[in-house]
Amino acid sequence: MILWLIGLSGSGKTTLGSEMARQLRARHPNTVLLDGDTLRQVFSFDQGSDPYTVEGRRINAERIASLCEMLDRQGIHVICCILSIFDDMRRANRARFSRYFEIFMDAPLEALRRRDVKGLYAAADSGQTPNVVGVHIRFEPPSHPDMVIDSSGDAPDIPSLAAQALARAGLGAST
């Protein structure tokens, strides 16, 4: 199964995905966590600004989806944390993978700017960092996610949210 966590940078995708992976691995050791930022480093695709253009982001997104497809064919559960700005690719995921569950980490840009853990939005606003999704590149929220989590607040109960998400995806404690 592919669990696809999407949302703007700083919305909590990696935090929630990491906890989901921890919980799911306790029952299914064949679980992999994929994070968009980490995969850019693995693929050495984070050099310069071109990889962060819309075209560069599409190449990276296709690489990630292809990796998920390969793992899915081998019966490996994948928790993928990615911006996922391409609606056509999200729609295609439903047919591409054996089982697909989409979680939208919903937080308004203003909340993410206040939080700005990585300093990304401040750098974008000052002109230091180009091609930031939500600032320079439009982010279109998913039209039909399987689950929406309001991540605009502070300090959610991540273990509880992870358990809820896994249960909704059909991978709860009894599976």
Distance CA(162)–CA(171), nearest Å, equals 11
For position 172, what pLDDT does the model report? 85
**Partners of 42 in beta bridges:** none
Q: Which residues contact 90 (CB under 8 A, 6 or more apart)?
A: 4, 6, 84, 102, 142
DSSP 98: S
Distance CA(7)–CA(152), nearest Å, equals 11
- Tally Cβ neighbours within 10 Å of residue 88: 8
Domains along the chain?
2-168 (3.40.50.300)
Residue whose tokens read 């984070």: 46
SS3 75: coil
Distance CA(152)–CA(86), nearest Å, equals 22
Q: Read off the pTM.
A: 0.92
What b/e string do you get for 34-45 counting C-beta neighbours within 10 Å, with b at 16 or more? bbbeebbeeeee
Distance CA(107)–CA(118), nearest Å, equals 16
For position 45, what pLDDT does the model report? 57
Q: Per-residue confidence of the chain (175 residues) as pLDDT tens digits?
A: 999 999 999 999 999 999 999 999 999 999 999 998 888 777 775 555 587 889 888 988 998 999 999 999 999 999 999 999 999 999 999 999 999 999 999 999 999 999 998 999 999 999 999 999 999 999 999 999 999 999 998 778 999 999 999 999 999 876 5
Asked if 151 and 141 count as a contact pair (C-beta separation under 8 A), the reply is no
Distance CA(107)–CA(6), nearest Å, equals 11
Which residues does the annotation mark as catalytic? 84
